[in-house]
Amino acid sequence: MKPEVRTLAFDDSPHTRVDGRVPVVGVHMRGAASVEGLLLTDVMRDGGDATNRIARCVADAGLRGVKAILLDGASFAGFNVVDLDGLHAETRIPCLAFTRGAPDLAAMRAALRNVPDPEAKWALLARRRLVTFATDATPITVSFAGMDETQAAALLAATTARGHTPEGLRLAHMVAALVQ
């Protein structure tokens, strides 16, 4: 993986249980050091449109040379679960969902009882290929589509400057915190 790999990283804004649509910020990066641009879309809280909205945001941006889409977690705006395989199929760009620590699948399954279409959302989560990487602190768990475990590890290494979070995701998180 080239150190200047172009990526798009997405994270959602803080939200409450009464919010309808929730902003999602995308950061276009080159490697771990150069910000190329910002994108903005939104998704329905606990809805089912995250995959489509992110795919459309990527397509509408018209960016060339993007080698990976990074997502902060498995879902946005509560339980608007992203279909990683579907996002990869729509964009033809490899996708990686990043989580610090190990996901608590039992808690996720229980929480899904409170949202629309819980079985379909659980099916998307259950079919993910989870890989956990040990670190000197909290482990990192990723799931991916359009790449293998070795490529996922290389992508993380190329896009992380310090700590364990890819810079695009770190920046998307900070910008999303400002967007309401």
| pLDDT tens-digit readout, 126-153 | 999 899 999 888 999 999 999 999 999 9
Q: Are 109 and 121 in contact (CB under 8 A)?
A: no
* Domain housing 127: 6-176
Assess if residue 1 is contained within a domain.
no
Cβ-based neighbours of 113, under 8 Å, separated by 6 or more = none
Cβ-based neighbours of 63, under 8 Å, separated by 6 or more = 6, 8, 28, 36, 37
CATH number (domain holding residue 135): 3.30.2170.10
Assess if residue 138 is contained within a domain.
yes
Assess if residue 17 is contained within a domain.
yes
Domain count, the chain: 1
Closest CA relative to residue 70, chosen from 151, 177, 174, 169:
169
Cβ-based neighbours of 76, under 8 Å, separated by 6 or more = 10, 11, 12, 22, 24, 43, 50, 82
Assess if residue 158 is contained within a domain.
yes
Give this prediction's pTM.
0.95
Along the 180 residues of the chain, how does pLDDT read in single tens digits? 888 999 999 999 999 888 899 999 999 999 999 999 999 999 999 999 999 999 999 999 999 999 999 999 999 999 999 999 999 999 999 999 999 998 898 999 999 999 999 999 999 999 998 999 998 889 999 999 999 999 999 999 999 998 999 999 999 999 999 997
